[in-house]
């Protein structure tokens, strides 16, 4: 019978060390837990045995960290959490604080991830059945098997406790020694504006094509749906009848939402292609929104004090001359009008910090994901690649630089919001949120007002 479980054979270290997971588990298990040899590693720091490695999902064919997979005994196959959406069950076991629960339609019950299954003694490899049927081709160091003497369950805990982890920085220092990384940013005025615009123009085509299916053209991407936009809507009062500018509107999804709430919306963006797309949508949907191709640094189309409200969703990080953009936005806003804009967080957003988790392939919260910040004071532009897009110019600026430029342009900051998803959302979207969005803010919202 052919093996139906495949291992990820990543880099095999010349000099294997004990399995990282076996060591951690054996520190906790009173019964003797076997420390197996760590024959695989993705990151050259953490060595894993063949139990604590990656396995192939029988649905998508991709390899995943063992805690992101469940075993269906009816179908006798492994399925990953991307193919079958899990929920997060706060449960204390070993040094973990939650398990993934997968509802199985075939069995009409929940299955647990392989990590928690092993703790309970229900891991498929712990069963004689699978050994006898040799469903798994057992690698040399597969043994010894381990099983708790009695079947058991972890301790239920509140989700708040499951997410309140200690600060892990000390341990990473110990493991890796001192880490150093430096950014090399190009000063803002040395970046070619034409090049910035050209790259956006090219990427806008991909953006629209890629996201047509996933709903992002109506709802924004996952970060907008789950983190930024809920915070935005919380502070946006009634927009009915207000003249609102969506500055850097992109595909226009936010502008269309504002228009549906009764605002008189204008969307501007410097990409012709985005504006064209917005106009086509508007012609179809007739929401009364208007779209205009122009740079935020030149809004001369609009007279002074034209708008009641200006919003801008993750745009200023892309705008080269943000000081000039703030001046223009201030000019076209009424007295006492609000300018509410989100951006990548200056300290923890992708430009300012370096993400590290160990092991690198894990999706678990406990497993050492750090956001390291260095060279915070260096501001400027750099080319950043997102998913399958061409690299785009993005600009890092410090809090003080943004705050100073807002003051110079005539804005007062009313409030700064660092959006954090609520627990309900985290539970429903554990993969997208639980392992970092609850630990540091990637985004920030400045709620500003124009007052003398
Ligand atoms: C990250 S996208 C965000 C789009 C939209 N607000 C959203 O949330 O989906 C940034 C947008 O800013 C636009 N942009 C960048 N620099 C600009 C500038 N100087 N003037 C006008 N638009 C600009 C880009 O074309 C792009 O559509
Ligand atoms: Zn192990
Ligand atoms: Zn899968
Ligand atoms: Zn099942």
Ligand 1, atom 26, lies closest to the CA of 250
Query: Has residue 9 got a pLDDT over 60?
Result: no
Among 50-54, 71-75, 370-374, the least confident range = 370-374
- What are the chain's domains? 17-164 (no CATH), 188-450 (3.40.50.150)
Cis preceding-peptide flag for 359 (omega within 30 of 0)? yes
| pLDDT recorded at residue 176 | 59
Ligand 1, atom 17, lies closest to the CA of 319
Q: With a threshold of 0.75, does the pTM exceed it?
A: yes
Q: Which of ligand 1's atoms lies nearest the C-alpha of 251? A: 9
Nearest to 90 by CA among 166, 192, 163, 177: 163
* Crossing angle for the helix pair 272-285 and 193-211, to the nearest 10 degrees: 40
For the chain, the average pLDDT equals 86
Q: Which of 310, 318, 384, 443 to mutate to test the pocket of ligand 1 (most atoms within 8 A of CB)?
A: 318
Confidence category of residue 155, pLDDT binned at 50, 70, 90: very high
Residues 237, 18: Cα–Cα separation, whole Å: 57
Stronger pLDDT, 245 or 348, i.e. the higher one: 245
Residues 82, 303: Cα–Cα separation, whole Å: 50
For residue 103, report the phi and psi dihedrals to the nearest 5 degrees. -80, 130
**Which ligand is nearest the CA of 298, by number?**
1
Nearest to 256 by CA among 221, 282, 229, 294: 282
Stronger pLDDT, 267 or 359, i.e. the higher one: 267
319 lines ligand 1 (CB under 6 A): yes
Please state the rounded mean pLDDT for residues 124-130: 78
pLDDT tens track for 308-334: 999 999 999 999 999 999 999 999 999
270 lines ligand 1 (CB under 6 A): yes
| pLDDT recorded at residue 8 | 55
Nearest to 55 by CA among 132, 121, 114, 123: 114
Ligand 1, atom 10, lies closest to the CA of 315
342 lines ligand 1 (CB under 6 A): no
21 lines ligand 1 (CB under 6 A): no
Stronger pLDDT, 272 or 212, i.e. the higher one: 272
Query: Has residue 369 got a pLDDT over 70?
Result: no
| pLDDT recorded at residue 327 | 98
Stronger pLDDT, 177 or 241, i.e. the higher one: 241
Q: Which of 188, 245, 250 to mutate to test the pocket of ligand 1 (most atoms within 8 A of CB)?
A: 250
- CA–centroid distance, 450 to ligand 3, in Å, is 50
Query: Has residue 435 got a pLDDT over 70?
Result: no
Query: Has residue 103 got a pLDDT over 70?
Result: yes
Which residues, by Cβ under 5 Å, contact ligand 3, an ion?
57, 59-60, 80, 83
- CA–centroid distance, 206 to ligand 3, in Å, is 25
Spatial contact of 94 and 25, defined as CB atoms under 8 Å apart: yes
């Amino acid at each position: 019978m052919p093996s139906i479980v495949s291992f990820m054979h990543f880099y095999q270290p010349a000099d294997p060390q004990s399995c990282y997971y076996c060591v951690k588990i054996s520190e906790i298990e009173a019964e003797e837990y076997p420390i197996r040899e760590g024959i695989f590693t993705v990151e050259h720091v953490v060595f894993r045995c063949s139990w604590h490695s990656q396995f192939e999902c029988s649905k998508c064919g991709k390899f995943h960290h063992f805690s992101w997979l469940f075993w269906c005994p009816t179908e006798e196959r492994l399925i990953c959490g991307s193919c079958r959406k899990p929920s997060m069950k706060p449960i204390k076991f070993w040094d973990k604080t939650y398990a993934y629960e997968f509802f199985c339609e075939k069995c009409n019950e929940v299955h647990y991830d392989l990590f928690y299954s092993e703790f309970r003694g229900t891991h498929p490899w712990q069963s004689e059945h699978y050994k006898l049927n040799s469903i798994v081709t057992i690698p040399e160091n597969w043994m010894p098997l381990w099983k708790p003497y009695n079947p058991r369950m972890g301790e239920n805990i509140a989700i708040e406790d499951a997410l309140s982890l200690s600060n892990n920085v000390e341990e990473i220092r110990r493991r890796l020694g001192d880490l150093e990384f430096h950014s090399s940013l190009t000063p803002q005025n040395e970046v070619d504006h034409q090049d910035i615009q050209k790259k956006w123009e090219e990427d806008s085509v991909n953006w629209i094509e890629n996201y047509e299916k996933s709903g992002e053209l109506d709802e924004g991407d996952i970060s907008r749906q789950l983190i930024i936009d809920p915070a935005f809507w919380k502070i946006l009062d009634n927009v009915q009848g207000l003249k609102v500018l969506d500055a850097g509107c992109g595909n226009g999804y936010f502008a269309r939402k504002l228009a549906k709430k009764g605002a008189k919306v204008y969307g501007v963006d410097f990409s012709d292609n985005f504006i064209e797309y917005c106009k086509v949508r508007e012609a179809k949907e007739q929401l009364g929104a208007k779209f205009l191709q122009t740079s935020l640094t030149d809004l001369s189309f609009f007279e002074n004090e034209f708008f009641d409200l200006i919003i801008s969703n993750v745009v200023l990080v892309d705008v080269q001359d943000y000081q000039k953009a703030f001046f223009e936005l201030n000019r076209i806003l009424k007295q006492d009008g609000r300018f509410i804009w989100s951006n990548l967080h200056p300290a923890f957003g992708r430009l300012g910090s370096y993400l590290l988790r160990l092991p690198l392939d894990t999706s678990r919260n406990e497993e050492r994901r750090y956001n390291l910040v260095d060279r915070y004071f260096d501001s400027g532009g750099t080319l950043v690649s997102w998913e399958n897009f061409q690299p785009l110019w993005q600009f890092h600026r410090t809090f003080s630089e943004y705050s100073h430029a807002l003051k110079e342009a005539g804005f007062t900051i009313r409030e700064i919001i660092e959006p954090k998803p609520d627990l309900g959302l985290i539970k429903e979207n554990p993969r997208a949120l639980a392992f970092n969005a609850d630990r540091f803010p990637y985004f920030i919202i400045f709620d500003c007002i124009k007052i003398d």
